[in-house]
Amino acid sequence: MKERGMKERRMKERTMTERGMKDYVVALASSVREAVLAARDQAGSRLVRGHSPGGDAQFGLDDVAEAAVWKYVADAGLPVAVYSEDRGLQFHGERPEHLLVVDPIDGTRPAVAGLESATVSVAVARMSDRPRIADVEHALLMELGTGAYLYGDRDTDTVQAHGYGPAAVPALTTNTDLTRMFWSIEFNGHPARLMAGAYGHLIDRSANTGGVFVFNSATYSISRLLTGQLDAYVDIGNRLLRDTPALLPEFERAGNGRVLHLFPYDIAAAVFLAEKAGAVITDAYGEPLGETALTDLSVLNQRSCVAASTPELHRALLEGITWQV
């Protein structure tokens, strides 16, 4: 009986491998989405149950999403390592060849409020001693509200879009003008005073003739560049702190005692997809994000991000932001 069980497990693992990683990650994200939508209106979904290893508040809905990730992984049977926001690094099966970096809900606050700006983010890299964003081979962003998703892998030249209707996606805008810019910014864990000092003048210039949005989800914001709804996304807190370490107490106050900048699971899939779609996405110094380690939550491995649909707009943002605040 034991030998039969091992044989069935090996057959299941081979079947999962043959299905392809795209099917695997789409099914994983769909499972998370179904669980989250079913639990969103339940009592306790908005309650803070604790904090993730990185220090971000974890809501009751996050618990549901994390459990759904592991249930799918266990049921699917494929040997994988999984790094998720709340549970860190876990292993399923022996000698996994792939690492899944999963943010089960990127945008928990919009999700519990029933708003649209939340995604399931999954990036897949080969296992190694120090996997990086540059090592990602498959990436998926699935909208929690609609189930629409963006997928890309190393073997294809373009990002594949599903559920976005007849319009072609990706569809990057061609805007180069800061005054006409539709863009999103980040405030979670970021002192509002510092953010206003850094790009308040850009908000003033673009809020009327363009649009300024706060989505509380890096992945949703970056994905809107690919859909053509936004021209840019900016999260610069990490550069401000690196440039002026004396600002640490302010960032810790805004983050309830922790530094809450972009973690690798926040951006791993989004960076891969944005680059494949032709967007310009870097840290706030204009440097590539590929060297970011996928399983390191330390302050030194946290990141800033400036993403834009055109090189000209990206350059204008880097030059137009006030870095010394």
Please tell me the predicted confidence (pLDDT) of residue 57.
61
Please tell me the predicted confidence (pLDDT) of residue 112.
86
Please tell me the predicted confidence (pLDDT) of residue 181.
98
Q: Hey, what domains does the chain have and what are their CATH numbers?
A: 2-162 (3.30.540.10), 178-320 (3.40.190.80)
Please tell me the predicted confidence (pLDDT) of residue 235.
97
Measured distance CA(153)–CA(136) in Å, rounded: 8
Q: Are 232 and 183 contacting, i.e. CB atoms less than 8 angstroms apart?
A: yes
Burial class (CB in 10 A: 0-12, 13-18, 19+), 173: buried
Tokens matching residue 203: 């908000």
85 phi and psi, to 5 degrees? -60, -45
Could you give the 3-state DSSP secondary structure of residue 153? strand
Please tell me the predicted confidence (pLDDT) of residue 261.
94
Integer angstrom CA distances of residue 131 from 100, 136, 317: 11, 8, 30
Tens of pLDDT along the chain (325 residues) come to: 455 555 555 544 444 444 599 999 999 999 999 999 998 877 566 666 666 666 666 678 889 999 999 999 999 989 999 998 888 899 998 889 999 999 999 998 999 888 999 999 999 999 999 999 999 999 999 999 999 999 999 999 899 999 998 888 999 999 999 999 999 999 989 999 999 999 999 999 999 999 999 999 999 999 999 999 999 999 999 999 999 999 999 999 999 899 989 999 999 999 999 999 999 999 999 999 999 999 998 989 999 999 999 999 999 999 999 998 7
